[in-house]
Structure formats: structure tokens, C-alpha cells
Structure 1
């Protein structure tokens, strides 16, 4: 989760949000926190994209597709990429149920192999799958990822994963809220993670501490503003949404490099932070 990103998949607002008119017509059904301002989205994304292009050698852009909607700007969730190829997910949010088909078609066109798909009634989303190391994966079991999805994921990865840690997710703000395992933890260095412990099961928090991780705590306000959703470009170098000064200071005090972008329209309204906006294809 923190190795230097060598290649990455992102999607521009022009291909996901499309226009102010489209946002006006669809933001409520996607349950956004207000209608994004399209021009401000473009400005915010330009800064975010600049960080990506300056730090990642190969940047791929997901094209517009009629099977997708606003949330397709958050390229992380329809899949997870493993050593043997991509596993695609029919996501728990009905409006995103065909998104993986568009991502699969594009990634296969650039040579990314497919390992498999999670089939209904299985459900899984990329934000619930957290690599602890190459042989260990934690999976959030909540409203977006169910037992059958986890069973199928285990079957597909049994030759490459030694340990699966199933993490029960809380009810949180309800079934319609976007609460993933990666909503409450982001690895930012080989031995550091930003966390929201209030939503973290005790056994998992203790597991991370026993593994030697330093846990950097976000408070309620900064958690609500995506302060636990960071993208590690490489160990100790991260992107964070602007507006979380306490988390930012804690990271800098530990010697990390932190780049921030205005993300109220791009990220906060759709609850998709820097991790959600990206799908790393390869890390070194």
C-alpha cells in the first residue's frame, strides 16, 4: 500500500462528472453532500493531477463510458490488483454495479491481466481490501462487502495470500453511507498509518500495534472531512485533502512529506479522498 507507485489509473472530471448540467441532474441520486461546482472541481483536480504526474511515471486515464456515473471518478473501488492480475467487483452501491465492466475493458486493453470477478450474490469494493504486506490482506466486512464476496476473493487469491484478516465494519452513518475499511485507515509509511480508532475493532487495532505500526489518530472533525483517506505515493510521501491541519501537522512532525489539494467539491461532496481517486496498477 505504500511502495512507490510506478503506474496508476485515474479518471478526469470531464469523463465522470461531464458537466454542471449532469451534476445538477444526478448528484442527489448518488447521495452527494450537495451539488459539486463543476468549475471548482476542475480547478481542484488540476492540482491533484499535477501531484500524480510529478510523482508517477505512467499515468493512465479511464475514458468516459455510458455504463458509469459520477462515482466513476473514484477509480479505486471497482477492482483490486494482485500479483496475478485484477479482480473485479460488482459493487454494493447499485448505481455503480456496472462500473467494473468499463474498468475491465480499459485495463485489459493496456495489458493488465484479469484474475477473476466476484459474482453475485457476492459483493465487494476496493476500499474494503487493505494489503498489510505481500502475503497478508485485511478485508472489511460491512454493507459494501459481504461474506460471499469474501469467500470468492479468498478462492481467487489462495495461491498468493497466506493470511486473511476479516474486519467487521460498524453501522456508522447507515447502509447508504460509504464506509470502507480504508475509510478508517490509510498506510502512509512502511510502519505508520493514519487511523480513526473509534470505528476500528479492538483486535485489529491491537494487531497493527503488535506489528509495529505507529497509529496517527484523526479526530471526529477531520475524519468527517476525509482526514483518514490519504494516498501514499511512496513511503513517507502522501497526498491529503486540504482542511485537516491536525493530521497534516502530525505527519510532518514525524518527517513525512505532505501535499494537499482543495477537495471540497471534488472529494468531500462524494466522500472520495485521494485514495479513492486513484487505482495504483503497479508499485515498486
Structure 2
């Protein structure tokens, strides 16, 4: 049975999106003190400033007209639960609850899945056993084509199970991810690839597979290349709010200039405490459920 969540892409106009706000993820100074080092945050987030920064994100999302579903807090959730993109996967047959590569985050999928099921969204199944998968390693090119990164957060067994749950008409094309900073780093396929439209994407080629670049070129996708000095400041972590309309973290002026030169309208957020310290940008903080 197939469920219509809208088109499967990473750039269409947002219609429904799930988020978890600072109040439900960070909760308190005591929780931040207990968790930030173990979760490999670069430094301790400031709770009050994080709330101010997140309010701006919510305002921008609301301005798109999308329905916003706020996910609840829950037992066993960590600071990382603010990054909702990774903890659920949308497929033509329903939502898939992943088995996260980062062990501290493995309770998120059940809590998020239950909350969205209560909103009427179907659950197709979950990744089990030795399978690992995270949403940041997946990019829909079209309804039938899903790109995947295989690395420390997502493995081939996870993709095999996802393929069975998504249905036989979905082709999963996977690419090896580089070691880069190692097992503890937050490094996904979408760290290097953020679609902006059907024919445009923000990319960081030095950490992309050659055949991945060739595939995108063969599909007629033009590139906005992130300069080296703006990769670590999350220049590539860009959320498409709609075709050629994007949200990005401040401090990446050259990437912003290059996007605008391609006709992209850019919304810039302050992301010191909600983004940079935990290495999760606008894409990571949102789980799009329906796009045009």
C-alpha cells in the first residue's frame, strides 16, 4: 500500500515539517551540563541564547505556511534530539524508524514515530539488528531515486532494510563516505550535498565521491560550491524552504553570495548555540514530512 506524503525531493515547497524545540531537547542547564561533553558538542550551549536563536528558526518556518508539528520531550532523549532530521525517514510506504549510528540517540526514533503516528502519519517499519541508518545520509532526487551515504552512521544492512520498507520501485544509490574526522564526528551525506531546486544544489566537492558528482552532473544539477574556509562553519548545511528559497547559518558570506547569484532567496539565522556547538544546521533541525 502506498501513502502520499507529497513529492520525494529535498527542495520542494515545505507543507508539513516536524521539529523539536529547545525547551523539549535542551530542557535545563542541568541537562546541558550533564550531556554536552559526552555528545561531542564543541562547547557548552547557552540555554537562554539557544531559545532566542530557535525562535528565529520557528518564525522563518511559520512564514512558509507549512504545518509545523512540535515533537514532545521524552525519557532518554538527549540534547541531540533537537536535530530531528536524522531520527525519522519518509518513504512512499510511510515513516521508517531508523536505528541510529550514534548510540546515545537510539531512543529518538520510537518517541518521534509514536508522536507522528498520533498525528495520522503511517509507520512503514523500523531498522533492526545490525542495520544502522540516519536521515542525514539520505537525499531524495525524485520519487524513485534515493541517494545514500555509507559511513560510520549508515551501513549497507541499514540500506538493505530501508529498501525493503520503501518498496521495490525505489532505487537506492549509495556512495562511500570518507573517514574525514573519524567515528565521533557528525559527518553525513548532507554535510556535502544540500539540494536547492531540481537543478541546483549546494556542494562541497573535496569530500564527495567522484561518481556521486558525476551522477549529479548527469542529472543536470548545477552546483553552488562551498569554499574551504566556510565548510567547517556549516556553509553546506542549507535547508530548502522551497525551490531556490533557503535557510542557512550566518558566517558564510561567500556561500550566501554564490547562492544569491544563482537566484536563491536566503534566510540567515544565528546558530551559535543551536547549530555550531552541536554541528547541526537548519537541515538537521527539521524533519520535512510533506513537500510539493
TM-score tier by shorter-chain length is over 0.9
Q: Which residue of 1 aligns with 2:16?
A: 7
- Report if the CA contact (8 A) 1:167-1:204 is conserved: yes
Aligned counterparts, 1:2-41, within 5 A: 2-41=11-50
Q: Which residue of 1 aligns with 2:151?
A: 142
| Aligned partner of 1:131 among 131, 136, 140 | 140
Q: Which residue of 2 aligns with 1:110?
A: 119
SS in 1 for 2:290: strand
Cα deviation, residue 132, structure 1: 1.0
Q: Which residue of 2 aligns with 1:227?
A: 235
Q: Which residue of 2 aligns with 1:217?
A: 225
- Report if the CA contact (8 A) 1:8-1:56 is conserved: no
2:209 equivalent to 1:201? yes
SS in 1 for 2:175: strand
Cα deviation, residue 220, structure 1: 2.1
Q: Which residue of 1 aligns with 2:163?
A: 154
Q: Which residue of 2 aligns with 1:169?
A: 177
Rounded to whole Å, the distance in 1 between the matches of 2:185 and 2:144 is: 30
2:290 equivalent to 1:282? yes
Q: Which residue of 2 aligns with 1:76?
A: 85
- Report if the CA contact (8 A) 1:183-1:229 is conserved: yes
Cα deviation, residue 83, structure 1: 2.0
Cα deviation, residue 160, structure 1: 3.4
Cα deviation, residue 56, structure 1: 3.3
Structure 1 unpaired stretches of 5+? none
Rounded to whole Å, the distance in 1 between the matches of 2:76 and 2:121 is: 20
Give per-residue Cα distances to partners, 1:10-36, cap 9 Å, x unaligned. Answer: 011010000122112210011101001
Give per-residue Cα distances to partners, 1:126-147, cap 9 Å, x unaligned. Answer: 0011101111011100000011
Structure 2 unpaired stretches of 5+? 1-9
RMSD, aligned α-carbons: 0.9
Cα deviation, residue 264, structure 1: 1.2
Give per-residue Cα distances to partners, 1:107-160, cap 9 Å, x unaligned. Answer: 110001001111121000000111011110111000000111111111112333
- Report if the CA contact (8 A) 1:124-1:144 is conserved: yes
Q: Give me the TM-score of the superposition, normalised by structure 2.
A: 0.95
Q: Give me the TM-score of the superposition, normalised by structure 1.
A: 0.98
2:105 equivalent to 1:96? yes
| Aligned partner of 2:65 among 56, 70, 81 | 56
Q: Which residue of 1 aligns with 2:5?
A: none
Give per-residue Cα distances to partners, 1:25-54, cap 9 Å, x unaligned. Answer: 210011101001111111111111100011
Question: Paired residues, what number?
Answer: 283
SS in 1 for 2:69: strand
SS in 2 for 1:266: coil
2:169 equivalent to 1:182? no
Moved over 6 A (4+): none
2:263 equivalent to 1:255? yes
